[in-house]
Amino acid sequence: MASNPEEIRKHQKLYLFIGCVLLIFTGVTVLMTTIDLGTPGVGPSDIAAGLAIATFKSSLVALIFMHLNSEKKLIYKFLLFTMIFFAGMMTLFVLAKLDPITFSFYH
């Protein structure tokens, strides 16, 4: 993470650029709702595409604004454990809807 004033001064353009990218991709996500991706209305592909853009945007926020692109090791260790538990929790919820015999989701 940039810590001396000179480096920070240089980073300001990057912050502005990332802000613009985030604004543009917000617009793109809204425009996507007007396009059919396979199924009429909102289908799984629409949700997947929307979440992919959201993930991209949140990655930019985390990496650039939260400086995770150059953080200390200890922070990465915290986040690694968090991600493991987070993924485990999401999986448990999804598995609750999974039929163990047919491996299809209950409706």
Partner 1 sequence: MEIPYTVTARSDTGLWNAKIGIWLFLASEVMLFGGLFSSYVYLRMGADFPWPVHELKVLPGFLNTMNLIISSVTVVFAWASLKMRMYTRYKICMSITLACAVIFMCIKAYEYSGKFAHYGVTLNDGTVLEGHPVDDLISFDDVTAITVTTATSDLKFLNERDGDDAPVMVKKPLELDGADAASDLPAEFELDSGNLRSIKKAARQKELAAVRLELTSAPLAFNVHERRQKGYNDTQLTFRDGTTLEGKMTNDSIVFGVDRIDMRMTKDIENSPFFGLLSPEGESWEEWKGKFLKHYGSTMDEFLREHEEFDKAKALENVEFQRVGLRLATVEPGSHHYPEVVIPRSEKRFYSNFTPRYNPYYAIYFLMTGLHGLHVIGGALVMGYMLFFNGWLYKKNPEHLANRVEVAGLFWHFVDLIWIFLFPLYYLF
SS (H, E, C) 53-106: HHHHHHHHHHHHHCCHHHCCHHHHHHHHHHHHHHHHHHHHHHHCCECCCCCCEC
The least distance separating partner 1 from the CB of residue 101, rounded to whole angstroms, comes to 18
**What's the chain's length in residues?**
107
Binding site for partner 1 (CB under 8 A): 3, 5, 8-9, 11-12, 15-16, 18-19, 22-23, 26, 29-30, 32-33, 39-42, 46-47, 50-51, 53-54, 57-58, 61-62, 65-66, 72-75, 78-79, 81-82, 85-86, 89-90, 92-94, 96-97, 105-107
CB 29 within 8 A of CB 53: yes
The least distance separating partner 1 from the CB of residue 88, rounded to whole angstroms, comes to 10
